[in-house]
Amino acid sequence: MLKLAADTMVTPEVRLLEQVDRGLGGPVTWRALQTDWKKEVIVQFAPHGRLVDDALDGFLTAAALGQEVATSRVAHIHDFGVFEDRLPFVVVEALQGRTLEQRLKKQRRLPVAEVDELGKQLAVAVDGMHEVGVEHHRLGADAVVLRSGKEIDAVVRGLAIGLLTRVSKSDEYVSPEVYAGEEADNRADLWSLGAILYRMLLGRPAVEMAQRRAGQWQVTLPTVGVDKSLREALQPIFGKALHESPDERYGSAEAMVTALSNGLDSVRGADGQFRIVNVTDESIPPQIAEEDDDSLAW
Q: Which pLDDT value is given to residue 48?
A: 65
- Distance set, CA 166 to CA 78, 211, 263 (Å): 24, 21, 36
Q: Which pLDDT value is given to residue 94?
A: 94
- 10-residue stretch averages of pLDDT, the chain, 298 residues long: 86 96 74 95 81 78 93 95 89 94 91 93 98 94 92 91 80 95 95 97 92 93 80 94 98 98 80 41 44 58
- CB-count burial class (<10 Å; 0-12, 13-18, 19+) for 18: exposed
Per-residue pLDDT reduced to its tens digit, 254-270: 999 999 999 988 887 55
Q: Which pLDDT value is given to residue 133?
A: 93
Q: Which pLDDT value is given to residue 126?
A: 98
104 with 252: CB under 8 angstroms? Answer: no
Residue 285 Rama label (left phi>0; alpha psi -120 to 50; beta):
beta
- Terminus-to-terminus CA distance in the chain, angstroms? 23
Q: Which pLDDT value is given to residue 21?
A: 78
Q: Which pLDDT value is given to residue 228?
A: 82
Q: Which helix (H) or strand (E) holds 104?
A: helix 100-106
Strand partners, 41: 32, 93
